[in-house]
Amino acid sequence: MIWFLLVLIIFLGIISLILNKGDFFSPSCIICLSYLFSTFCAILNIKKWGVSLHYNTLFVIVIGLATFIAIECISKKITVLPKNKISVQKNFFLDNSDVLFIPQTLILLISFISFLILIMLYQEISRLGGAPSISESIGNFRNATVLSSNEELQLTFSVTQLLKFSAAFGYVLLYFYINNSVIDKKNFKKISYLIPITIHVLQSLLTGGRLPLIRVIVSIVLMYYILHNLKNGWRISTGFTFLRRTIVTVLLFFIVFYFLKDFLGRSSQESFIDYITRYVGGSIEALDIFLNTSSARANNLFGQETFSGVYAMFSRFSSDNIDIVKSLPWVVSRTGYTIGNVYTAFRRYYSDFGYLGVIFCTGFISFVYSKVYSIIKMNLANNYKKFSVVIFLYTSFVYPLVTHAMEDIFYITLITIGTMIQFVLFIGVYIIMIKISEKYFIA
């Protein structure tokens, strides 16, 4: 049955590719590629995990992906190109006047402040982790924050907010660097723009999480892909070229991902292949086990799993004891092998709302991302620098599509006060940096 699932995902991916005229990085193609890779990783462990996929699991995944593709088509249909505006498919943008220059002294100042925040974070992790080595402290801190809502085990408010500022400046300067490098390859040498995002990655690793690293990689790929197409035109050949480069990038990322586990306090002794395929493909088997056990759909609150981020937000302002389901139970395969605690994003939607939840929750995500992506491709404003904030925000927050086959990020992480603050900071910092760029740029 899992082989049949693989064939159906490939079929849906081909449909998506045709509908998007060969654009491998359209939202529906991204999510199909995500599930294709996860399913392939699960197939590699058929014997080890005793994988025996059921029809209802296949139905949930296929109906979810089909819904995403269908809503994307609807979204594109209702995204109308304004009169007197040429489609970006036929009109090329980006020239030397679109370089986003930032004074070197300001970049170094931002980098220095980000480094100070990194030191503050290191001190916090050492205090909360309470271990002689940084790796043990990171592991202890992560376990404590995941398993407990005790405020004494959380980062201080000041450090948490400073990290948001650090991330905002890091992503903005990353976008500026890629923008400038696409316009003129000579700008690749100006690597000082990358210092803040590098420090942000180090900050993320100190907290024990690897999701921010995935987010950075996804942002880099999508930023470069979209900006390259805006300069040279949207061609099918470009999609194939970038897909090959992305595959190489993903392989290199997983190598780094694997060797980071010791630094991050992970105790797994698995081989490279076992570790990566469990991390990426375990969600497919976990979903199947969940859907075919008596524990399925046992939640008491409306959207208890899907909207756990919202419940966590409300719990801060309520004296009621709210049962927040953010971290799900670990799953053991039919052969006794521990495969993880992620079940694809569909688990949460089905657990809370059944098949209709899979359709409506997936459909909303599809509409949001597809609408913005259609606007980027079809409705570019005459002033690129003003419109570029849309591209920047899309590429900075598109990563939930990539991780959808493992876990939901959109509802449990993006729809929170913390992310809303981060979103506003991203916009504010970007606008400020654009103003500075316009003031100091000399064409």
pLDDT tens profile 284-320: 999 999 998 865 555 667 778 888 777 776 666 665 6
**pLDDT for 129-180, tens place per residue?**
766 677 777 777 776 666 555 555 678 888 888 999 999 999 999 999 999 9
CA distance linking residue 262 with residue 267, whole number of Å? 7
- Are residues 436 and 110 in contact, defined by beta-carbon separation less than 8 angstroms? no
pTM score, two decimals?
Answer: 0.89
- Does 443 have pLDDT greater than 50? no
SS3 80: coil
* The two three-digit tokens of residue 116, written as one number: 């100070």
CA distance linking residue 186 with residue 206, whole number of Å? 33
Sequence-distant (≥ 6) Cβ neighbours of residue 76 within 8 angstroms: 370, 374
Domain range summary for the chain, segments of one domain joined by +: 90-359+393-440
- Are residues 100 and 180 in contact, defined by beta-carbon separation less than 8 angstroms? yes
* The two three-digit tokens of residue 321, written as one number: 């004891």
pLDDT for residue 32: 96
DSSP state of 411: I
Apex 91 CA angle, 85 and 92, nearest 5: 135
Intra-chain end-to-end CA distance of the chain, in Å: 60
- Are residues 60 and 287 in contact, defined by beta-carbon separation less than 8 angstroms? yes
Is the Cα dihedral 360, 363, 369, 375 positive or negative? negative
E strands present in 8-81: none
CA distance linking residue 425 with residue 392, whole number of Å? 13
Q: Which helix (H) or strand (E) holds 338?
A: strand 338-340
- Does 85 have pLDDT greater than 80? no
Sequence-distant (≥ 6) Cβ neighbours of residue 261 within 8 angstroms: 268, 275
Among the ranges given (135-144, 230-239, 271-280, 369-378), the one the predictor scored with the smallest mean pLDDT: 135-144
